[in-house]
Homo-oligomer: A and B are copies of this chain.
Amino acid sequence: MYSFKNDYSEGAHPNILKALIESNMQQTDGYGEDRYCMAAKKLLKDKLKRSDVDIHMFCGGTQTNLTAISAFLRPHEAVISANTGHVLVHETGAIEATGHKIISIKVGDGKLKPKHIQMAIDEHTDEHMVKPKLVYISNPTEIGTIYKKQELEDLYAYCTKSNILLYIDGARLGAALCSKENDIEISDLPRLTDAFYIGGTKNGALIGEAFVICKDCLKEDFRYYIKQKGGLLAKGRLIGIQFLELFKNDIYFDLAKHANSMAESLKIGIIKYGYKFLIDSPTNQIFPILPNEIIARLQEKYSFFIWQKVDKDNSAIRLVTSWATKEEAVKSFIVDLRLVSE
């Protein structure tokens, strides 16, 4: 059984394990104030071409989202999110648990545009309603689509003009930045958003996300929030070491390219046999629509999620590739698809 269920099925890139072994018996300070975290932050700032951003290490995406959002908002302020937004549906109300409403905007392609922000503003007019204050987007989105540079520029300009913050969930940021359709550099991000995170867990790390605060007024006292929400690791070096390895030789991007390329191979193979997709996604998640009986046959050898019922006889499945996906597995899937499709 080979799994295309997600991009966190395996452990970490071997370089990371090697670095953990080499540094293992060194003594370092706790709580992310060690030399590895310092070096990783320095390296990331170089990649971002911005020495003035603040960087903090987190264990996971939900933890990053809830800590950042609750730190940035006053009690009556709310989040705007696409209806597919991870914070809206797949974090067990983590944001609401910190006291903030999420305003849901229905979109087809997972992406928010200036007009959606204006809709939320128009509907929230006085003190009987929450005040929209932070736009949450994911890049790539939860359905694999990506923002083009112009789209992000427009969105951020609109947010700024409207006195609203823009926050990017980058759980799979590598996949977005390495997509063939992408025209954004990682060093563009600090000028296109107020805060974002660079996802490690889903791109070769054992665990870890690097959270970047670009806007000055959001930086103050941020370590207090991490500690209060339970995210300050005693052995913070664990995450520093990993980001150092991932970005030292730009492995991070190589891994993401591999994931995307594996997804593209799957896509080409699937198209060849005449199948369509729920949405056209140029990253490491694809959503082919297959007849239910074919899905059942494939499930005998592969694991993946059934994403959505399309009609009586067909469903969309989600196939996720990663830095660790094996080329043979992809080939074998296509072969098997052909066999069961005949």
User: Which residues does A use to contact B, with CB under 8 Å?
Assistant: 2-3, 5-6, 8-12, 14, 17, 20-21, 23-30, 59-67, 70-71, 74-76, 78, 89-94, 96-102, 104, 127-131, 201-202, 206-207, 221, 223-235, 237-238, 324
Contacts and interface: CB of A to CB of B under 8 A. Distances in A.
Copies in the complex: 4
A90 B24 contact: no
B221 A131 contact: yes
B127 A90 contact: no
Given A93-B228, A128-B227, 20 more contacts: A10-B25, A11-B25, A11-B26, A11-B237, A11-B238, A20-B206, A62-B227, A66-B229, A75-B228, A76-B93, A76-B228, A92-B228, A94-B228, A94-B229, A96-B99, A96-B101, A127-B232, A207-B235, A229-B230, A230-B230
A202 B234 CA distance: 9
A21 B27 contact: no
* 8 closest Cβ pairs, A-B complex: A63-B230, A11-B24, A76-B224, A93-B101, A92-B228, A9-B27, A127-B223, A8-B234
Chief secondary structure at chain A's binding surface? loop
B96 A227 contact: no
A58 to B, nearest CB: 8
7 contacts: A2-B27, A6-B234, A8-B30, A60-B230, A91-B228, A94-B228, A96-B130
B76 A201 contact: no
A221 B74 contact: yes
